A and B are shown apart, each in its own frame.
Chain A
Amino acid sequence: AQSVTQLDSHVSVSEGTPVLLRCNYSSSYSPSLFWYVQHPNKGLQLLLKYTSAATLVKGINGFEAEFKKSETSFHLTKPSAHMSDAAEYFCVVSDQGDYKLSFGAGTTVTVRA
């Protein structure tokens, strides 16, 4: 069985400063890991995914995440936050080959001007 813990329910940053969203996972097998973003009243958009290739994964809109097996972590970062990054972010895990996704509780990001 797999599960995800997002360590921060809310993150507030100033525009132009780095963003760090923390995610720890547990998985019985080799995991697939994803980050999704949900803007207000919108659907979920895939930011990036890890599927046992390179441990540093680059996604859209300047986001990237690093898979660290020893720490069971998959933290999401962005060097410089934009106002448009204000949204809710979900870390998601699945066992490879399994259709079931386990969603974290979400991290709400606010960006101050």
Chain B
Amino acid sequence: DAGVIQSPRHEVTEMGQEVTLRCKPISGHNSLFWYRQTMMRGLELLIYFNNNVPIDDSGMPEDRFSAKMPNASFSTLKIQPSEPRDSAVYFCASSSTGLGYTFGSGTRLTVV
């Protein structure tokens, strides 16, 4: 089992550019989560999908953020346009029972 796979591992972009983060959950897991981790705010849940359907997007900061899950094996988190305050580590996690999530290695985003 390769675990939850995220790409890219690091992303440096200029303010105003579009950024797309990718996630491949563990096969068979029906729940997928996007988290953001910063020093100031710790880990924040951005959005939760169940069976590819967005269930809770109340954590998405604003309209610049969007997430999709077109199928059970792929999800994207897009920021357009990006801003320096979006700099953080973004984690994807998946779960089959809710009894403990498996996290990916994260994408470290730097917006300059």
A-to-B contact residues, CB < 8 Å: 32, 34, 36, 41-46, 49, 51, 90, 94, 97-101, 103, 105-106
The CA of A14 and the CA of B104, in the complex, are separated in Å by 30
Q: Across chains A and B, which 6 residue pairs bring their CB atoms closest together, nearest first?
A: A44-B103, A43-B105, A43-B103, A103-B43, A49-B100, A46-B100
Is the CB–CB distance between B91 and A51 below 8 Å?
no
Is the CB–CB distance between B101 and A101 below 8 Å?
yes
B2 interface contact, C-beta 8 A? no
B70 interface contact, C-beta 8 A? no
Chain A residues with CB under 8 Å of B108's CB are 41
Cβ-closest chain B residue relative to A94: B98
B82 interface contact, C-beta 8 A? no
Of A34, A43, A46, the contact of B106 (CB 8 Å cutoff): A43
The CA of A51 and the CA of B102, in the complex, are separated in Å by 16
Is the CB–CB distance between B99 and A49 below 8 Å?
yes
Cβ-closest chain A residue relative to B9: A41
Chain B residues with CB under 8 Å of A45's CB are 103
Chain A residues with CB under 8 Å of B93's CB are 44
Task: Quote the shortest CB–CB distance from A62 to chain B (angstroms).
Answer: 19
Task: Quote the shortest CB–CB distance from A10 to chain B (angstroms).
Answer: 14
The CA of A94 and the CA of B98, in the complex, are separated in Å by 9
Cβ-closest chain A residue relative to B44: A103
Is the CB–CB distance between B31 and A43 below 8 Å?
no
Cβ-closest chain B residue relative to A34: B100
A44 with B45, Cβ < 8 A, contacts A32-B99, A51-B99, A98-B98 known: no
The CA of A90 and the CA of B99, in the complex, are separated in Å by 16
